[in-house]
Structure 1
Amino acid sequence: METESPKIAIWWSNASFFLATHVFAVWGALYWRPIHAVPTQSLVLALLVWQLADFGITIGYHRLYSHRAFRAKFAVRVVLAALGSAGFQGSIKWWCLRHRLHHRFTDDPVHDPYAATKGLFYSHMGWIFYKPTYERMELVDREDLDSDPVVRFQHKYYVPLAFFFGFILPTLLGATWGDPSGAFVWGGLVARLAIWHCTFLVNSLAHWDGLQPYSDEDTSRGNFVLALLTGGEGSHNFHSFPHDWRSGPHPLNWDPSKWIIGILHRFGLVYGLRSVRDEDLKEAMQYMHFKDTHGVPPPQTEAPWDKQIWDLPQAHEYIQSKPGRCVVVIDDYFVDVSTYLGEHPGGATLLRKYSVRPEKDLIEASWAFDGGLNNHSRSARKRMREFRIAQFKH
């Protein structure tokens, strides 16, 4: 007897708002307040709303909060939260948790919220119409989000904030030049569609068309046209290094979000900018160049382990002699990740959860590292091997 597949529930409230916004935006732009009937100020407002809300998503939601690629002063976080609210893509917390889940299980048709492997339409906007059943969402770290007062406030009052910054404020601004209805249509509705679909293109088109100079382990690609539409998020294959504050390492990569972060950093408003190591970037590019040229990956040989071999008591002795150390067990090796805690894209708390401690039972991190919590990249695995200190003798 065959087991019936669970029915996927339609997310009626989400779908209704999404579709209604499209209908009213098209009707408003074609019939109520067509482009030739509105003053230039309203059209400029639409462009500004689109771009500013887009930066709220790319700089705030994505690079600052989802990937902790840099840190920001309170005032900057408040501004980014307001701009992100105007994007109508959910609260910071809602957006970031799903994006972190996406990175942990990229392209997985079950656990990736907008998996490109489920089709172009689904990854672009099809996922919006279904109530989510994220089986592994509880595994995603959220401590940093819950501890940020800006995130907590915006999450609690997200709906009124989104309506105010997304619809009411553009209308009020339009009233100052005598065109509240035109500002509502173009700065509220039409700009909303631009923000939505340009962001969604990163989930869809950026996984379907473009170059892969850094990694081919998932479907992410680099696309210059997409960079123009998304505030610089088009070099999506570089996102193989998700903790980097840039979307492309070269100064000429089109990335206005990177330029804005750089300016804010110069004025001391953001700090702690994180970048991929030059040697990791160079190695990734050489690997892909060899593979593209020869059609096969370069030979990968791992030298036999000729260093220390410890049992668990010896590991405990090492840890007790170095207070504060964080040592985990991955694939039968003791790995000292103490110096990596601040760099780990998943946060230090997750690593410490699996740390070896004399006073607690051993919880190996192999399951988590090898796909249980994250599908780690080849580059991440290479980095992990650098931190090995001893082989585990059971």
Structure 2
Amino acid sequence: MNKAPLVWVNLLVFSITGLISLTLVPYYGFSYGYSSANIIATILCLGYCGMSITAGYHRLWSHKTYNAHPFIKFVYAIGGAFALQNSILHWCSDHRNHHRFVDNNDKDPYSAKRGFWHSHIGWMIREQQGTEYKNYNNVKDLQKDKIVMWQHKNYLWLAIVTNFGIPCLLGWLDGNIAAMLLTAGVLRLVLSHHFTFFINSLAHMWGKQTYSAEHTARDNGFLALLTYGEGYHNFHHTFEYDYRNGIKWWQFDPTKWFIKSASWFGLTYNLRTAPDERIEKAKADHRLETFRQKLSKMPQHAALLDKLEADYEQLIQAMNQFYAAKKRLIEVKKRKLNHDYKKTDVYKQVEEFKRKFAQHKDAFWQHSIPELS
């Protein structure tokens, strides 16, 4: 087969910036050193780029998990150009195709099933996508967004001005433009690129499938540290309309925290979340299917599967009762039908169903899969 033609601009950008980061950046550091202000500025610039991609390109525009004030959109648009990952329109078009055709080697632009190299960076250095991916038919809604289209039409000069202008300005303020260009300019760009690319590659290969095995996406807490919460990727691919990726309070997801905090000031609104019952059911369904597949190879454990399926049915019934009662209680609170809602029959039902749900949940999850012999 003939290989797809090289995209020379991308290849040169990745090669030159990578080479500078591996050679000139450490050489300058050992020879002259970097100031504290230089290091702090680099970290802040890296965070600005990362959050513009995760909160802006990804969760706002690609998946429309919330709405944002034009000021926030403008900040994201500038940060996206600074991150040098193409325009919002182009990035979101690729990403929507990734979700729509996930793991399809012919239609998923960065299918993980084509290997680490392809999904991480290879798909960008060869023109492997057909012309149908360049007509932006899947982002017609974004073409109505004035900020998206302004950035798309002016992307080249925005990318040049931000990637040279911001480091130079910071360097001028710190008194060392060369050092700032090396760290806040080049090193920041390389780290920003590869941290983001890890979600396309490693997050589809390394981690746990918590909610679904219908796609290769994995949950990985370590990757979440590098990608502002994007590492909880199995959850994201299962519930892509949720503005959160790390749904537990202790899971590292600064993108979620920023979006939620901004909503307190009216800068973000209409935050979408997956219902708790759907999340619980997805986990239980995945657990049951995993058991079925493994125990199908061990017919001597058929009774264990029967018990698991019975516990699953009881769990789902208890779950439905609990969440239905919980919704009724919320209505009671909204309508203020009773100021002391804890004395209502609905509240007592919620507490009883909550207890039963917890019991059946424990019973279902206590099962363990025997070793394959």
Q: Same-fold call, TM > 0.5?
A: yes
Match of 2:187 among 174, 187, 190: 190
Structure 2 equivalent of residue 25 of structure 1: 21
Q: 1:367 maps to what in 2?
A: none
- How many angstroms apart in 2 are the aligned matches of 1:266 and 1:36? 45
**Aligned residue number for residue 202 of structure 2:** 205
Q: Secondary structure at the match of 1:245?
A: coil
Greater fraction helix: 2
Does the 8 A contact of 1:113 with 1:134 survive in 2? no
Structure 2 residue 104 is matched with structure 1 residue 108: yes
CA contact (8 A) 2:168 2:180 kept: yes
Pairwise CA distance, 1:84: 1.4
| TM-score with structure 1 setting the length | 0.72
What is the deviation of 1:287? Answer: 0.8
Alpha-carbon displacement from aligned partner over 1:203-235 (angstroms, at most 9, x marks no partner): 011000101110000110000110000001010
State the match for 1:273 in structure 2. Answer: 271
In the alignment, what sits opposite 1:218? Answer: 215
In the TM superposition, 1:224-239 aligns within 5 A as 224-239=221-236
Q: Kindly report which structure 2 residues correspond to 1:133-172, keeping only aligned pairs within 5 A, or say none.
A: 133-134=129-130, 136-137=132-133, 138=135, 140-172=137-169
1:172 is displaced (CA, Å) by 1.3
2:262 aligns to what?
264
Task: Report deviation, 1:136.
Answer: 4.7
- Give deviations 1:285-309, integer Å, cap 9, x for gaps: 111122344536987xxxxxxxxxx
Per the TM alignment, residue 184 of structure 1 is displaced from its structure 2 partner at its CA by: 0.4
Please say which structure displays the higher CA radius of gyration.
2
Offset at 1:194? 0.8
TM-score normalized with structure 2 length? 0.75
CA deviation after TM superposition for structure 1 residue 187, in Å: 0.2
**Correspondences of 1:120-135 after superposition (within 5 Å):** 120-134=116-130
Match of 1:10 in 2: 6
Are residues 1:94 and 2:79 paired? no
Residues 38-79 of structure 1 deviation map (CA, whole Å, 9 limit, x = unaligned): 211111111111111000000000000000000101101001
Pairwise CA distance, 1:133: 2.2
Secondary structure of the 1:43 match is: helix
What is the distance in 2 between the residues matched to 1:55 and 1:139? 24
Q: Provide the residue aligned with 2:44 in structure 1.
A: 48
Which residue is 2:350 aligned to?
none
Equivalent position amino acid for 1:107 in 2: D
Q: How far off is 1:166 after superposition?
A: 2.2
1:336-365 Cα deviation digits (max 9, x unpaired): xxxxxxxxxxxxxxxxxxxxxxxxxxxxxx
Alignment partner, residue 375 of structure 1? none
How much does 1:274 deviate? Answer: 1.0
**How many pairs were matched up?**
296
Q: Take 1:275 and 1:140, find their aligned partners in 2: how far apart are those partners? A: 27
Q: 2:246 aligns with which of 238, 245, 248?
A: 248
What is the aligned partner in structure 2 of residue 283 from structure 1? 281
Pairwise CA RMSD of aligned residues?
A: 2.0
- Deviation per CA, 1:246-267: give whole Å up to 9, x if none: 0122222210000000000111
Q: What's the CA shift for 1:35?
A: 8.0
Q: Structure 1: where are the runs of 5+ without partners? A: 300-394
CA distance in 1, matches of 2:141, 2:111: 25
Contact 2:109 2:129 in 1 (8 A): no
